[in-house]
Amino acid sequence: MSGTAPGSLSVRGVSVTAGRRTLVDGVSLEVAPREVMGLVGPNGAGKTTLLRTLYRAVRPSSGRVLLDGEDVWRMPGKRLARRLAAVLQESSGEFDLSVHDIVAMGRTPHKRAFDGDGRADREIIAGSLAELDVSHLADAPFDHLSGGEKQRVLIARALAQQAGTMVLDEPTNHLDLRHQLDALRLVRRLGVTAVVALHDLNLAAMFCDRVCVLQNGRVVALGTPAEVLTPGLLTEVYRVEAEIDVHPRTGAPRMTLLPDPAPRKEGPFS
C-alpha cells in the first residue's frame, strides 16, 4: 500500500545531549532503500532518542539526518510527512477521537487544509484498518482500547500515510504473538525503508536485514543478525548468557537464554 518510493536514510554523526547527559553519542549509519534496519540494545541505550531525531521530534545537538540526501530539518513538515511515517511507543490517549479518525489522520499530509476525505482516501483508510485487523473497531473511541489495540491502530495510521520510509519504536509492544508477527510481516511486505527498535532479539533476527546495537548511546555493533547477534555480544551488552543456533525453518539465528548469569568479560565480544 505504500504510495511513495522508498528512500535512503542516512544518520551522520548524530549526538543528543540533555543537560550534562549524552543520550546519543556520534551515531552514524546508512539505511538503504527497502532495507529493514533493527535497532536493539538494553534499556537506556538511546534507541528511542535516536529514533526521535529521525522524525524530527528531537533536534540533534550535532550531526545530521538525511532522507535521500536532504536534511530532514530543512524539509517542509508536510513534505517530510508524505515521505516518512512514525509509529511511536506512546499512544495518543489525550485524543478524544474514534479509531477511524485516528487512522484518517494518516491522510492529512496528502491533502490541502480543510479538505475532506475523497474516495481514494476512504479506500486507503479502510484498507489500513483491515490490514491491521481493526476494522471492527472503526467507531470505537481510541481512548477505550487496550494497549495492543491502540498499537495496531497507530500502525494502521502510519500505513494510511503511504510513506516510503517508516520509523517504528517498539511496534510489537503490547501485541500478542500473532499480531507481533503480523506487524513485522507487514513492514517487510510493504517494501518500505524501515528503522525498527525492538527488544525481542529473535524477532529482530527473523525480520531485519541488518541490526544496529546501541549501548550507552553509541553503536557497538552493526551488521547482519548472524554477524552481530553472538553469545559474546549478549554477554558484553546485555549481561546474559545465551546459546545461539540457526532455526531450521527460517534460517535466522535463534537465541536461547540460559538461567545462569553470564560472567563479566574483558575485551571485545566475539
4-45 pLDDT tens trace: 889 999 999 999 999 999 999 999 999 999 999 999 999 999
What confidence score (pLDDT) does residue 198 get? 97
Residue 58: DSSP 8-state: S
What confidence score (pLDDT) does residue 118 get? 87
Residue 141: DSSP 8-state: B
| 67 beta partners | 9, 70
- Grid coordinates standing for 222? 552493526
- Give the CATH H-level superfamily of domain 9-229: P-loop containing nucleotide triphosphate hydrolases (3.40.50.300)
What confidence score (pLDDT) does residue 52 get? 96
Sequence-distant (≥ 6) Cβ neighbours of residue 21 within 8 angstroms: none
Task: Give residue 31's identity as a one-letter amino acid code.
Answer: V
**Low pLDDT (below 50) residues in the chain:** none
| Domain map (residue ranges) of the chain | 9-229
What confidence score (pLDDT) does residue 256 get? 95
pTM, full prediction: 0.91
Distance of CA 21 to the CA centre of its chain: 24
Task: Give residue 30's identity as a one-letter amino acid code.
Answer: E
